[in-house]
Amino acid sequence: MTNTDNNPTTVELTEPRAVATVDGVDLLLPPTTPRDVLDMFVASCNIGQCDCDTTFVSKITGVELFEEPGCLRVHVTGAVAPNEVLAEMVTSAPQLSSPQS
């Protein structure tokens, strides 16, 4: 039997991950992440009104949200590392770090 479906299989993300990029970090979140919370998180980061540590905030220059197959991607532009982004997410927006049912 041959597979005639030319669509690649998308694996859905089940927990947050952070990946280094050329200009910052991509924070990958499950598609079940509450979108209203995520929108507020991104908006508050962009105007410097988030609950992140001030040293962390001083390192970032922008935050953008993208919908991708199997996940939501938050691109954090700036001189930050993946572990810093995950740590700040856990402390400033814990509802984004726990798996949603």
Confidence band, pLDDT 50/70/90 cuts, at residue 45 = confident
The alpha carbon torsion through 31, 36, 38, 39 (nearest 10 deg) reads 120
1: pLDDT strictly greater than 60: no
97 or 2, greater pLDDT: 97
76: pLDDT strictly greater than 80: yes
Q: Which residues of 28-61 are buried (b: 16+ CB within 10 A; e: fewer)?
A: bbbbebeeeebeebbebbeeeebebeeebbebbe
91: pLDDT strictly greater than 60: yes
Predicted TM-score of the model (pTM): 0.81
71: pLDDT strictly greater than 70: yes
Mean pLDDT over 22-32 rounds to 94
